[in-house]
Amino acid sequence: MTTTAAPVALTPRRGLAAARARHTAGRVLAALVRSVAIIVPVFLVATFVTFALRALSGLSPARIQLGEEATPEAIARVEAQWGLDRPFLVQYGDWLDGILHGQLGTSWANGADISTLIGLGLGVSLSVATLALLIGVVVGFMLGTVAALRSTTWIDRAITGFVTVISVMPAFVVGIVLVVVFAVGLHWFPSGGYVPAEQGVGPWLAHITLPAVALSFDVIADVARQLRAGLVAAYRENYVTGAVVRGLSPRRIFFGHVLRNGLGPTLATLGLKFPALVGASVVTEWIFGLQGFGRFANDAAQAGDVPAVQGVLVVSIVLVVSFNLIVNLVLARVTPAAQRGV
Amino acid sequence: MVRRVLALTSGRIAAAVLTVIALLALFGPWLAPLDPLATGDNTLAAASGTHWLGTDYLGRDVLSRLLDGSRVSVLGSLEVALTALVAGALPGILSVHWGRVFEWTTLRLADTLVALPFLLFAVAVVALLGNGLTQAMLVTGVLVSPLFYRVARAATLAVARSQYVEAAVVSGASTGWIVRRHVWGKILPPIAVALAQTIGVGFVIVSSLTFLGIGVQPPAPTWGGLLASDLGYLSHRPWAPVAPALLITATVWASNLLADAIRDVSGEAGRVLLDDRGARDGRPDRTDPAPAPAPAGGAR
């Protein structure tokens, strides 16, 4: 925002700009401290719930390894091997210690290292989720801005209607429609599978475009709606009237005054969208045959592989929490009002 | 409130669509023209007189399966919404009254639940805790309950700190009277909005879970399951997913529409919006200065 003041930056303004930069840095730091204070308990509670799942499920590695007709002694032996005969809290402590060191344990089903397995899938899922976020933010931003600038005209109504329609289409419905039209019908894109980016950016993009578009509809709708509402509200503020009276150009009013103040709710929504994207990947990866994070979660859950499921949940919690942290920091940097109440 | 919601066109449309879906859920299994589980030789058939929506890969009648499967989806989403209502709204209201410890704990819990990707968690929990849609929906209900918690808490806070409640307390009104006279009217509309939204969300989750084959035994038909089985035969019957996809989308849309309609007719913001709409309709163009100040002042 110091850049918007730059054209009129006469000598006495320098000190002001520096003070403003210091102020901004302090704000971001305060937001960081506050966010961490919230995140630590959230993380502890979430991991505890995740770990308690095993005790609640009553599943045991013995059933997977030995089958249904194992003797009680054999079951006890296998459970002791996995350290499941120890007290619950000791197990939780060990497990949490492992997580903090990046070790998610080994799979009950095949003894493989879960961190490695998840790492393999995460590359696929994050490619898709990032592209989906990118599409969602860019398209949603354009739609929301145009709707706000042309509010109460037919353009606004058309955009609002379109946004309403796409917001109620679940990701897997969109995914199937996309497969039918663009893969089966037009043959523009492959209907499934994944090619790593190292083997060529073109094929990589072709394989992740359809799933990303399927996931992005929800983001587009939310960003467009929130941005439109925020911008329309910001245009009604007195400082905009003041800026118009001072004779500032519409472009400067939009970028300097309206956008900065109308952006807050949109960014806050983005923070909440990320869990939805991670969750929806379970379904879209199934549709598009991607061996990603969500597919791994589904397969592990259906196989009753508890440590793998726990690992998936922990990774998703970490992803979501860190994404929220970033959004909070951006929010603190962009809009001062975000300081009041997180 | 019901009357005012139905006075809006969007409210009427939403109510009509939801009524049709509810009737499908109630009577669908009896309306099904053929046995939804009966297989036949006529596999992957196109729409015809006997099979209005064609048949699937085992020759089962799609229309019958669609009608038969409606009950699972609708019951599931209602279950999600009601669980979330109980698990979220009660602590939300009580958090204002039961002291700081309870308030702090429930706030942190709500933060935690929001952080969990609920579809992923629902998949995990259902798969681990037993393959029943009821458990799945209970868990999902708890996971989406922070919405109710926040809404109920915000409304209760607004009421508890208002001067008219203080005045009622000072003038010696009983708690029950205050709740009936002042609190319900403020808290119910936002909760009704959240409930309508959650039914939509629950519907998506039920469909997603059944799409993945979680929570139902294979031959039993569900809308999500129909989509999943269509997916394998897209090159033969590209139009097959249209009917279940349309039904799911229409239901979610109607729930959202209902939520918007309730929001429009209730509360301060709602009344302003209605006035705003009236003003906009009556206004010849945007340059007319007379009605402009009203929405500008009330929109906040």
Predicted confidence (pLDDT) at residue A150 exceeds the cutoff of 50: yes
Residue A138 pLDDT class (50, 70, 90 cuts): very high
From chain B residues 143-172, the ones with a CB under 8 A of any chain A CB are none
What pLDDT shows up at residue B281? 42
Neighbours of A185 (CB within 10 A): 12
Any CB–CB contact under 8 A between B120 and chain A? yes
**What is the percent of chain A with per-residue pLDDT over 90, rounded to a whole number?**
1
**What is the percent of chain B with per-residue pLDDT over 90, rounded to a whole number?**
0
The average pLDDT across B128-138 equals 73
Residue A73 falls inside a structural domain: no
From chain B residues 162-221, the ones with a CB under 8 A of any chain A CB are 200, 204, 207-208, 211-212, 214
Residue A341 pLDDT class (50, 70, 90 cuts): very low
CA-based nearest residue in chain B for residue A273:
B117
Residue B284 pLDDT class (50, 70, 90 cuts): very low
**What is the percent of chain B with per-residue pLDDT over 70, rounded to a whole number?**
73
DSSP assignment of A13-66: HHHHHHHHHHHHHHHHHHHHHHHHHHHHHHHHHHHHHHHHHHHHHT--HHHHHH
Selected residue with higher pLDDT from B154 and A56: B154
A213 alpha-carbon distance from chain centroid: 15
Selected residue with higher pLDDT from A330 and A66: A330
The average pLDDT across B150-169 equals 82
Cβ-based contacts of B245 with chain A (< 8 Å):
173, 176-177
- Cβ distance A313 to B128 less than 8 Å, yes or no, reads no
Say how far apart CA B195 and CA B85 lie, in whole Å: 7
DSSP secondary structure code for residue A106 in this structure: B
Highest averaged pLDDT of the listed ranges A211-215, B71-75, B179-183, B265-269: A211-215
Cβ-based contacts of A316 with chain B (< 8 Å):
116-117, 120
What pLDDT shows up at residue B277? 45
- Cβ distance B253 to A165 less than 8 Å, yes or no, reads yes
Interface test with A, best of B107, B113, B119 (most A CBs within 10 A): B119
Any CB–CB contact under 8 A between B282 and chain A? no
What pLDDT shows up at residue B57? 65
Residue A139 pLDDT class (50, 70, 90 cuts): very high
Residue A338 pLDDT class (50, 70, 90 cuts): very low
Predicted confidence (pLDDT) at residue B146 exceeds the cutoff of 80: yes
Highest averaged pLDDT of the listed ranges A41-55, A147-161, A256-270, B114-128: A147-161
Residue A51 falls inside a structural domain: no
From chain B residues 222-261, the ones with a CB under 8 A of any chain A CB are 224, 227, 230-231, 234-235, 238, 241, 245, 248-249, 252-253, 256
Minimal Cβ distance to B252: which of A38, A168, A179:
A168
CATH number of this structure's domain B2-36+51-274: 1.10.3720.10
CA-based nearest residue in chain A for residue B242:
A177
Any CB–CB contact under 8 A between B119 and chain A? yes
What pLDDT shows up at residue B51? 63
CA-based nearest residue in chain B for residue A151:
B286
What pLDDT shows up at residue A306? 79
- Which of A267, A272, A251, A250 lies closest to A334, judged by CA? A267
Predicted confidence (pLDDT) at residue B280 exceeds the cutoff of 80: no
What pLDDT shows up at residue B289? 37
**What's the predicted TM-score (pTM) here?**
0.74
Kindly report the CATH number assigned to the domain that includes residue A279.
Answer: 1.10.3720.10
The average pLDDT across A63-68 equals 66
Minimal Cβ distance to A179: which of B118, B214, B234:
B234
Q: Is the dihedral of CA B94, B96, B99, B101 positive or negative?
A: positive
Shortest alpha-carbon distance between residue B181 and chain A (Å): 30
Neighbours of B293 (CB within 10 A): 9
pLDDT digits (tens, 9 = 90+) for B218-244: 667 777 777 777 776 666 666 777 778
Residue A138 falls inside a structural domain: yes
Shortest alpha-carbon distance between residue B299 and chain A (Å): 7
Q: Total structural domains in chain A?
A: 1
Structure tokens at A53: 């799942």
Mean residue pLDDT of chain B comes to 74
pLDDT digits (tens, 9 = 90+) for B169-188: 888 888 778 877 777 777 88
Query: For chain B, which residues make up each domain, given as ranges?
Result: 2-36+51-274
Residue A207 falls inside a structural domain: yes
Predicted confidence (pLDDT) at residue A339 exceeds the cutoff of 50: no
**Exposure of A235 in the CB half-sphere (CA atoms within 13 A):** 17
Weakest-pLDDT range from A69-83, B8-22, B74-88: A69-83
Minimal Cβ distance to A170: which of B230, B241, B252:
B252
Determine the 3-state secondary structure of B55 from DSSP: strand
Determine the 3-state secondary structure of A270 from DSSP: helix
- Cβ distance A279 to B118 less than 8 Å, yes or no, reads yes
Predicted confidence (pLDDT) at residue B288 exceeds the cutoff of 60: no
Minimal Cβ distance to A184: which of B127, B234, B286:
B234
Shortest alpha-carbon distance between residue B180 and chain A (Å): 31
- Cβ distance B129 to A167 less than 8 Å, yes or no, reads no
Predicted confidence (pLDDT) at residue A245 exceeds the cutoff of 50: yes
- Cβ distance A46 to B253 less than 8 Å, yes or no, reads no
Structure-token match 């037919």, residue found = A154
Residue A42 falls inside a structural domain: no
Cβ-based contacts of B212 with chain A (< 8 Å):
282-283, 286, 298
The average pLDDT across A113-135 equals 83
Shortest alpha-carbon distance between residue B296 and chain A (Å): 6
Cβ-based contacts of B241 with chain A (< 8 Å):
173, 176-177, 180
Residue A286 falls inside a structural domain: yes
Predicted confidence (pLDDT) at residue A10 exceeds the cutoff of 60: no
Residue B276 pLDDT class (50, 70, 90 cuts): very low
Selected residue with higher pLDDT from A98 and B45: A98
pLDDT digits (tens, 9 = 90+) for B27-72: 777 766 666 666 666 666 666 666 666 666 666 777 777 777 788 8
Weakest-pLDDT range from A242-246, B71-75, B250-254: B71-75
A193 alpha-carbon distance from chain centroid: 22
Predicted confidence (pLDDT) at residue B145 exceeds the cutoff of 70: yes
**Complex-level ipTM:** 0.71
Distances (CA, A) of B176 to A214, B153, B299: 50, 19, 33
Minimal Cβ distance to A283: which of B211, B238, B295:
B211
